[in-house]
Structure 1
Amino acid sequence: MESNGTRNHPADCDVTVQLSDCGREDARAVFETLDRVFARCDVPAPGPEQAHDHEPTVWMATFDSSARRSGEPGPPNLSTSVTTLLTGDHQAVATVERALGGLFEVRSAGSVSGEHEKEARLHLTSRYVTH
């Protein structure tokens, strides 16, 4: 098993999460929520919006699916549906997909499986809790 150069864990536990069709606040909500579930392998979530910034087309972060944190965060609010692409080892992608399913309303938009890697495309929306 190959190891990730920046962390001491197997690289096949890493899942790249790409978000599109959303603004900075929705990207930050998804990534901060995942930060409370899994260890992040790269840079922090997008910072506050600045007037001179241009919004990227795709937001991206990598999470270690084997580094599960204790406790479950509450479901975050999103202003719109967020298109999400998960890429990584089959089991690692399934682990992150299950976690997202517990936090958001998730609609699958298809997946592609290779010999060593899987891509899963999802649409995330806020999960509304009724009291």
Structure 2
Amino acid sequence: MESNGTRNHPADCDVTVQLSDCGRQDARAVFETLDRVFTGCDMPTPGPEQAHDREPTVWMATFDSSARREERPGPPQLSTEVTALLTGDHQAVAEVEKALGGLFEVRSATSVSGEHEKEARLQLASRYVTH
């Protein structure tokens, strides 16, 4: 099992999360919420929006699926549906996919499995809590 050079954990626990079809605020909402569930290994913090800035087409962060936190965040609000592409070890992707399913409404999910890696594409929307 390889180790990530900058962290002291197995590299097969890392899941890369790529978000598309969303703006800065929605990317921030998804990443900050995931960071409350898992330790972010490489998580850029989208800065404040500037009128002249162009939005990236893909937002990306990496999370350590083996480092679950005790915090149980509430479901964040999204302004639109967000496409999330998860890539990593089969078990690691399953952990992050399960966490996202508990935080967001997953409107569609597809996955492709290889010998050592799994890729899952999820369509996320806000989960509305009824009391």
With the length of structure 2 as denominator, give the TM-score of the two structures: 0.97
Q: Which residue of 2 aligns with 1:43?
A: 43
Within 2, Cα distance between the matches of 1:72 and 1:117? 28
Where do 1:22-37 residues align within 5 Å?
22-37=22-37
| 1:29-85 per-position Cα deviation (integer Å, ceiling 9, x unaligned) | 000000100001113331221122110000000000000000210000000000000
Within 2, Cα distance between the matches of 1:6 and 1:52? 34
Is the alpha carbon distance of 1:38 and 1:53 closer, same or farther for their aligned partners in structure 2, counting shifts above 3 Å? same
Return the offset for 1:107: 2.7
Structure 2 segments unaligned to the other structure (5+ residues):
none
Within 1, Cα distance between the matches of 2:81 and 2:67? 27
- Number of aligned residue pairs: give it: 131
Return the offset for 1:6: 1.1
Tell whether the 8 Å contact from 2:22 to 2:82 is kept in structure 1 after alignment.
Answer: yes
Identity of aligned residues (%): 87
Tell whether the 8 Å contact from 1:16 to 1:62 is kept in structure 2 after alignment.
Answer: yes
Q: Which residue of 2 aligns with 1:103?
A: 103
| 1:68-124 per-position Cα deviation (integer Å, ceiling 9, x unaligned) | 000210000000000000000000000000000110001333111000000000000
Within 2, Cα distance between the matches of 1:65 and 1:105? 20
Within 1, Cα distance between the matches of 2:60 and 2:43? 9
CA RMSD of superposed structures (Å): 0.9
Structure 1 segments unaligned to the other structure (5+ residues):
none
Where do 1:81-96 residues align within 5 Å?
81-96=81-96
With the length of structure 1 as denominator, give the TM-score of the two structures: 0.97
Moved over 6 A (4+): none
